[in-house]
Structure formats: C-alpha cells, structure tokens
Amino acid sequence: MKIKDIYKKGTLPLSFEIFPPKGELDPGELRRVLAGLTDERPSFISVTCSAGGTGGNAGKTAHLASIIQDEYSVTAAAHVTCINSKRAEIDETLRSVQAAGLENVLALRGDRVPGCEPGDFAYGAELIRYIRQSPEFSSLCVGAGCYPEGHVDCESPEKDIDRLFEKQEAGADFLISQLFFDNEAFYRFIDKIRSRGVTLPVDAGIMPIMSKSQITRMVFLCGASLPAAVVRLLAKYESDPGSLLAAALDYARGQIADLKRSGACQGIHLYTMNRPDVAHALAQAL
C-alpha cells in the first residue's frame, strides 16, 4: 500500500522508525525486534540508512524494509538520502527499492559526512523532484522531512518553511516531522506552514528519552529545545536509568495524548530506537 492512501482512512495512523543493526543482520535478533514492533500493527514502518548516507547502505535498508512487508504484512518505507550521493548512486538505490517490491520512500537530504565529496543533490526538494520527473521512479510514493523548530543548517525559520513548500511543489506526498519535546512549538509550526500553503499530511515525530547522553546528543544534532519539564526530569533521574525511562515514557504518552486531542497532525511517528518495549508502551497512548 502507498502511504499517501493510509491518510484517507480517517483514523490517526501510528508509524514507527527503525534502523538497520550495525554489522551483519542477526536473523534471530532481527526477527525478535520486528515481531515485537509489528505486534502493534503500525500503519507503516520506515527504515533508515546508516550514518553516511545512502551509498553502501541502500541494499541493507531495502532488504530490511522488504522483510517487514513480505514476512510481517506491514507497509514499509525506505529512507533515501542524497547529500553525499551521486546521481548514479541514487538510481541504484531507487532500483533496489523497487526490486524489493517497495512502493514508498522517505526522500531526505541526510547528514553531511566529513571528507565525502558533495553529491549531485543539495536539498531534499531536489531529490523529490528528480524522483517525480523520472519515468522509472515516478510511481513511488514519496515522503519528506519537516522541522518544527527549523533545520539546524537553515539560516532562518522562514527560509526553512519556504524549503518545505518547495518539497510540496516538487511532488512530496506526506511529511514526517523531526523529533520535538514541546508540543506548543509543533502547533506554532503547523499554523505557519498551513498559512504558507503547505497542505500535505504531517506526522508528528516523537522520540522517548532513553538517557541524558542520548538526548543531549540528539538535541545537539537536530536543534530541538528542551522544555523545563524535560530538564527537571533529566536532573531528577539522571543517575537512575530505570526511573528515567519510566518518567520519559509518561512524558511522551502525554505528548501523544495532547497531539491526538489537538487534531494538529495527521499521524504519530515513533522513533523506536529498535525497542519493541518502548513502542508498546507508547502505542497504548493511542
């Protein structure tokens, strides 16, 4: 199924993001994770590329996504990043996606890798436009990223929203947001993009806090702000990992419940960190 058709069902879709394990895929561990995640019957699961962009990770991403679809009957989307990739590499990646029987991709700029030569696409919108204008790949359903508090590399929030509008004009079908911890920031973002003319469905990206070091790293990478309630939670439980996770899950459940009541998003996307227990705990909020 194409993800764009899921939003037509009139329910609030729940989706997960997972990443290919480092090194070789251990079949037993992989299927334990997939079985736990698919037990929640998500509307779809997106599979990331490893750090460094598409390149040599393309086959692993498409393979894992195909297992999700073929063995667990859950719609899957393969991430495709472009900042470090040449056009021929993108073509190879997209062909591997189609050869795996996948209909959905998440087209992203990706993270710059020091020492890598620039690719042929500078922005996600350019990749989306390339897919849409290619007779070979134009039938794919294409998702894109959006950034409630602005992309860390963008010069201004206004320019960031302009870039998002460009993704819509290029042919994106739906949007998945970067993680955020402040729902009010997300609501302000939605108001701004709707005023700008962005009409695409938006999934709100929620990532539970696993540890202080994890969240510090993620905040540095993506620029998400930490509300006072989260700072107090980290300070209170930083030396008690079990209590921190329990409190963080409560916070994330509160975010999800508030998002559901607001009607501001068209779906909830959980960054699961390959943790079925976390996905289960948060799915109950819906």
What is the number of other CB atoms lying within 10 angstroms of the CB of residue 254?
A: 13
**Are the beta carbons of 104 and 130 closer than 8 angstroms?**
no
> Would you call 10 exposed, middle or buried from its count of C-beta atoms within 10 A (0-12, 13-18, 19+)?
exposed
User: What's the CA gap between 41 and 183, in Å, rounded?
Assistant: 25
> Would you state the structure tokens that stand for residue 124, as one six-digit string?
């996600």
The single residue listed with the structure tokens 């079985």 is 35
The single residue listed with the structure tokens 């079949």 is 27
Is 17 catalytic? The answer is yes
**Are the beta carbons of 187 and 259 closer than 8 angstroms?**
no
Give me the catalytic one of 17, 40, 103, 149. Answer: 17
Distance of CA 245 to the CA centre of its chain: 21
Q: Which residues are catalytic?
A: 17
